[in-house]
Amino acid sequence: DEITALYNGCTVEFAVEPDTFYITISVSGTDPQKCANVANQIADTCQKVYHDGFSYGQIGTIRTAKEPGSPVSPNKTQNALFGAAIGLILSSVIVILLDLIDTTIKSDDDIAEIYKIPVFAEIPDFESQGR
């Protein structure tokens, strides 16, 4: 199960680890220090609420949140490679589609192939030959 919420400008996500009693708190946002503080405050609040409501058992924090050394997102290299791959695929598809829908006759061989008739003469295009 998973719950996502917005707290103090950070996206907070709670997830229950399968087959355990652990709850993972993930916080993401634009300010890493602020998000680490939010995660730690939520963990402390959960402990206080548990101890106020239950007199048995215990609850604790396994690992406190710290500011990451490098941004988790966006991964600029991965995004650039992904964009280049999508651009290459799209341009290839466009070129193939344009070739498939092009019905212009480019040479006398095209006429002979399409209409199955021989070509006896051809009118030269002086402008394309540069005179």
Would 125 be classed as within a structural domain?
no
Q: Is residue 131 part of a domain?
A: no
Distance CA(22)–CA(46), nearest Å, equals 12
Do 7 and 44 lie in a common domain? Answer: yes
| pLDDT given at position 82 | 96
91 domain-assigned? yes
Q: What is the DSSP letter of 129?
A: T
Residue 45 sits in the same domain as residue 87: no
A 10 A CB-CB count for 12 gives: 19
Distances (CA, A) of 46 to 42, 54, 102: 6, 12, 67
**Which of these, 3, 53, 51, 48, lies nearest to 23 by C-alpha position?**
3
Q: Is residue 120 part of a domain?
A: no
Answer whether residue 46 is part of any domain: yes
Torsional class of 8: left (φ above 0), alpha (ψ -120 to 50), beta (otherwise):
left
- Do both 7 and 48 map to the same domain? yes
Q: How far is it, in rounded angstroms, from Cα 5 to Cα 29?
A: 12
Q: pLDDT by residue for the chain (131 residues), tens digit each?
A: 455 666 777 888 888 888 888 888 888 888 888 888 888 988 888 888 888 888 887 888 888 888 888 777 778 889 999 999 999 999 999 999 999 999 888 888 888 888 888 888 888 777 776 65
Q: What is the predicted pLDDT for the residue at 73?
A: 74
Residue with tokens 């050394």: 69
**For the whole model, what pTM was predicted?**
0.51
Q: Is residue 89 part of a domain?
A: yes
**Domain limits at 15?**
2-53
Count of structural domains within the chain: 2
Identify whether residues 47 and 84 lie together within a single domain. Answer: no
User: Do 7 and 47 sit in the same domain of this protein?
Assistant: yes
Domain-embedded: residue 59: no
- Supply the pLDDT for residue 58: 81
The answer as to whether 71 is a domain residue is no
